[in-house]
Amino acid sequence: MTTVTTTTTPAAPAPAGPADGEERQVRRRRRLSPGRRLPAARMLGPVLVLLLWAAASAAGLLDPGAIPAPWTVLETGARLWTEGTLADDILTSLRRAGTGFALGLTAGIVLALAAGLSRAGEALIDGSVQLNRAVPTLGLIPLFILWLGIGETFKVAIIAIVVYIPIYLNTHAALSGIDHRFVELAEVQGLSRPAFVRQVVVPGALPGFFVGLRLGVTGSWLGLVVLEQINATSGLGYMMFQAQNYGQTDVILVGLVVYGVFGLVSDTLVRLIERRVLSWRRTLSS
């Protein structure tokens, strides 16, 4: 009797179609990309520092006279807010920083456009700005006091200088880095000067502008810390200077925390605006 054995041959795999290839490319991009950064993830660092600070204070590793515990700083801040002094100092600091920032932002944009779109403008402006950048801005304080007096005007002027320099430098660099092929394409399309600025110059300069804007926002707060300790009668810097004279480290830490929160919030707002405005740009984080 003969037994017939039937062998089943496995079917050959179907050739990968376009959909399979696209799926593999998407998986590979996700593997290589650092991923989209979550706004809340930026708080992990500050929260970790706060937890370590609280743990060290609770364990008695920190001298309360030199570095008070977080709950002590929180109680001091609440007391100052209830008394009304902290709210008044915050409003004064915001007004100074906002006025100086607005002036610096306007000057940085105007000078960058004038230097980036005109050879004559670059010859007249860029060298002067580079010279100003080489001089320490805080070193100009004595001269500005002689020119503008020791009131509010010189404080606002110094903040404006601190802000406009990074905005000008980064915006001008972005304008200079626009690919010449876009200029040639605009000439072929017959774009007018306003259309060329709107469709080529502005989109090309925005990434550099936002980098300078973030640096300018941070610089306005850094300059404010120093300026409010010079012949001021209100403001966060004045509050910290007075606390230094009386050895009130908890009040000093309240001022530092407020400065830090303002800096983080303002930088986050600029980054959110940047992500919204530059949504058309493909980057690793997008």
Q: Is residue 163 part of a domain?
A: yes
219 alpha carbon, distance to own chain's centre: 9
pLDDT at position 182 over 80: no
pLDDT, mean of residues 228-254: 89
Q: Please tell me which residue, 19 or 195, carries the higher pLDDT value.
A: 195
User: pLDDT tier at 1 (50, 70, 90 boundaries)?
Assistant: very low
pLDDT at position 76 over 80: yes
Please give the DSSP secondary-structure letter assigned to residue 59.
T
- pLDDT value at position 66? 85
Q: Is residue 165 part of a domain?
A: yes
Q: Which two tokens stand for residue 128?
A: 């002067």
- pLDDT value at position 29? 55
Q: Please tell me which residue, 77 or 151, carries the higher pLDDT value.
A: 77
Q: Is residue 241 part of a domain?
A: yes
Q: Is residue 7 part of a domain?
A: no
Q: Is residue 26 part of a domain?
A: no
pLDDT, mean of residues 128-150: 88
Q: Which two tokens stand for residue 147?
A: 């020119």
Q: In whole angstroms, what is the distance from residue 220 CA to residue 33 CA?
A: 33
Q: Is residue 30 part of a domain?
A: no
- Residue where the block lists tokens 């100052």: 80
Q: Which two tokens stand for residue 194?
A: 């306003």
Q: Kindly report, residue by residue over 16-43, the tens digit of the pLDDT.
A: 555 566 666 656 555 555 545 555 667 7
**Mean pLDDT of all residues in the chain?**
83
pLDDT, mean of residues 225-232: 84
Query: How many other CB atoms sit within 10 Å of the CB of residue 33?
Result: 12
- pLDDT value at position 172? 92
Q: Is residue 151 part of a domain?
A: yes
- Residue where the block lists tokens 């309240």: 254
Q: Please tell me which residue, 233 or 33, carries the higher pLDDT value.
A: 233
- pLDDT value at position 286? 47
Q: In whole angstroms, what is the distance from residue 283 CA to residue 36 CA?
A: 10
Q: In whole angstroms, what is the distance from residue 127 CA to residue 268 CA?
A: 32
pLDDT at position 15 over 60: no
Is the whole-model pTM more than 0.75? yes
Q: What is the CATH number of the domain that holds 268?
A: 1.10.3720.10
- pLDDT value at position 47? 87
- Residue 199 contacts by C-beta under 8 Å, 6 or more apart in sequence? 186, 191
- pLDDT value at position 22? 63
Least confident among 24-33, 55-64, 113-122 = 24-33
Domain count, the chain: 1
Residue numbers of the domain that contains 117: 67-277
Short-list 207, 186, 208, CA closest to 197: 186
pLDDT, mean of residues 60-66: 86
- pLDDT value at position 156? 93
User: pLDDT tier at 284 (50, 70, 90 boundaries)?
Assistant: very low
Q: What angle do CA 278, 125, 131 make, to 5 degrees?
A: 100
- pLDDT value at position 20? 60
Q: Is residue 10 part of a domain?
A: no
